[in-house]
Amino acid sequence: MWQQELPEAGWRLESASLGALQEVVDDALAEATREDIPARIWAHDHTVWKPDPGDISNRLGWLGIAEAMAGATSRLGRFAKEVRQAGYRRAVLLGMGGSSLAPEVFRKVFGAAADRLDLAVLDSTDPGAVLACARGGKPEESLFIVSSKSGGTVEPLSCFSFLYNRTAEAVGKDKVGEHFAAITDPGSDLAALADRYRFRGTFLNDPNIGGRFSALSYFGLVPAALVGVDVDRIVAGAVAMAHGCRAEAAADNPGVWLGVVLGEAAKLGRDKATLLFSPAISSLGDWVEQLIAESTGKEGRGILPVVREPLGLPEVYRDDRLFLELRLEGDETGRAEVAALEAAGHPVVRMSLRDRYDLGGQFFLWELATAVAGYRLGINPFDQPDVERAKELARQMVKAYSQTGALPEEQAAANWGEMRAYGPVAGETPREALVGFVRGAQPGAYVALQAYLQPTEETDRALGALRTQLREESRLAATVGYGPRFLHSTGQLHKGDAGNGLFVQLTADHAEDAPIPDEAGATTSSLTFGVLEAAQAQGDRQALEAVGRRVIRFHLGSDVVGGIERLIGW
């Protein structure tokens, strides 16, 4: 056991029990030092990853963004004060993936200060989720933040058009633009849209930062300031971590060390990076999940982040796990369970934070670690080559709907009343069909529950019970993602890794649908959120099958929780 810490960033590596991994990690760290990897990364040397600079040289702005944002925090403070004085009480972030996950971390970890705005994140096309968000506050007291790097992401733009019309009804066409702000890249379609609709404010981000590496830029810090987070402290912690990660010796560089551990573990089959975070900062895991999965899942390689999984006994885990613990000082949750994993020979890395504000340093630490893991895996961690295929197939579905008034029909393989199954069904009941689908999984496999459902606490609990049962019975890692949110998070890994995933899609009837205006301010609509969500599910399923992945879909009917319970066997 050895210790390393950066007091200025509030981070401490308590121990690293790597067992059989230790020798290969030591060799890889020595190699990284010989190859001058830390200095080359800071010099923006694309050859760390690939000979071609494409989608690398223009994606390294995150390395210096914390120091750059230190000079912009006063603007954020003024903006937050301005909207509060204007009578706003709620902010709604419309974004996907890298545009939504860091804001969600700030809201869940810090809450909303008494004199600041509350924050809701809408990263769904499920009509139930869209309508629940629209009805969750008064439009006249709401500020809607449309957040998209490219400016063309279909989900936030669809939500924008819908919420713009509802807000215009409440405040009038002359004032509705004041209720919107944008975060985007210079020259994007969203920047032009913000001008056209006279948004209250537009924050133009450094274009040399990919979405999932943007937590410390405007994409993360504008929402943070609105809910009352001290962004100066967040940025200071990030700067301190960045300085600590300039160490030329790889073993003394926290980000390089962690990235080497992740990469070498994956190369030896321990590619299920299981994140054990203190409950108070557990939402950071969702951000790390997207960062690692989308960055490393390509070219037949990848690291599967496993987040929010209840701790089990050592024997329920296969030898494909790497456990990474991050706890707040004083939090003893799960200490005994983690010690048992360690004693059983599973590799365990234990880290701690001084307090919540040390999350600033964690954003940078995990970004650098992910970039280094990509170096060890021999892939470009900054592109996402398989994401566009699912989007294109979804667009084809929408086009077919516009021409025929219906999505392409699918033939059910089994029917159980309202509940139906599509794909390879082996069994007489929903439970038997699921068990049959998972049975015979190859070593290294995992199960991904893809829930195209409205996120609710009841559904969360049911999905959690299902994933735990799958792990207990099969000893496979099981993940849960709400669609289409996960398409911008783990979707790249699902299609780009070695083909280890077993994919269980869950869909349901909608109690109520909502039209998507053809454009903001228009009264016509050619599409609904329910149809868009269904098209995205079909498109992703086809994209998975096109690269040889196994997929089964269960349509739950109108009783979502009841349908999930039938899969559990209750």
d(CA 190, CA 360): 27
Q: Is the pLDDT of residue 67 over 90?
A: yes
Q: Would you say the CATH fold of 70-235 matches that of 4-20+28-40+248-377?
A: yes
User: Distance (Å, rounded) from C-alpha 295 to C-alpha 488?
Assistant: 11
Residues 308-314, mean pLDDT to the nearest whole number: 96
- Rounded to an integer, the average pLDDT of 384-406 is 88
Report pLDDT digits (tens) over 451-491.
999 999 999 999 999 999 999 999 999 999 999 999 999 99
What is residue 390's predicted lDDT score, i.e. its pLDDT? 84
Q: Give the CA radius of gyration of the chain.
A: 23
Name the band, by pLDDT with cuts 50, 70 and 90, for residue 1.
Answer: very low
Mean pLDDT throughout 26-48?
98
SS3 state at 275: strand
User: What is the CATH number assigned to the segment(s) 4-20+28-40+248-377?
Assistant: 3.40.50.10490
**Would you place residue 317 in the very low, low, confident or very high pLDDT band (cuts 50, 70, 90)?**
very high
pLDDT digits (tens, 9 = 90+) for 227-260: 999 999 999 999 999 999 999 999 999 999 999 9
Looking at the domain 387-513+526-568, which fold is it?
Answer: Rossmann fold (3.40.50)
The torsion angle over the Cα atoms of residues 123, 125, 126 and 129, rounded to 10 degrees, is 40
- Model confidence at 570, pLDDT cuts 50, 70, 90, reads confident
Span 348-355, mean pLDDT?
Answer: 97
Model confidence at 440, pLDDT cuts 50, 70, 90, reads confident
The average pLDDT across 261-265 equals 98
- Say what angle helices 430-438 and 560-568 make with each other, to 10 degrees: 60
Smallest Cα–Cα separation from 479: which of 195, 244, 273, 262?
A: 273
Question: Domain map of the chain by residue range?
Answer: 4-20+28-40+248-377, 70-235, 387-513+526-568
In our burial notation (b when 16+ CB lie closer than 10 A, e otherwise), range 417-431 reads eebbbbbebeeeebb
Model confidence at 24: pLDDT above 60? yes
Write down the pTM of the prediction.
Answer: 0.97
Spell out where 191-344 has E strands. 201-204, 272-277, 304-306, 321-328
**So what's the pLDDT on residue 3?**
63
pLDDT value of position 271: 98
* The one-letter amino acid at 389: R
pLDDT at 201 over 60: yes
pLDDT, averaged across the chain: 96
The whole-angstrom separation of Cα 415 and Cα 429 is 9
Q: Are 296 and 370 in contact (CB under 8 A)?
A: yes
Query: Is 208 a residue whose pLDDT tops 70?
Result: yes
384 pLDDT band (50/70/90 cuts)?
very high
* pLDDT band (50, 70, 90) for residue 545: very high
Q: What was the pLDDT predicted at 181?
A: 98
CATH of domain 70-235: 3.40.50.10490
Q: Do residues 272 and 320 touch, judged by C-beta distance below 8 A?
A: yes
β-partners of residue 425 are: none
Condensed to tens digits (0 to 9), the pLDDT of residues 148-180 reads 999 999 999 999 999 999 999 999 999 999 999
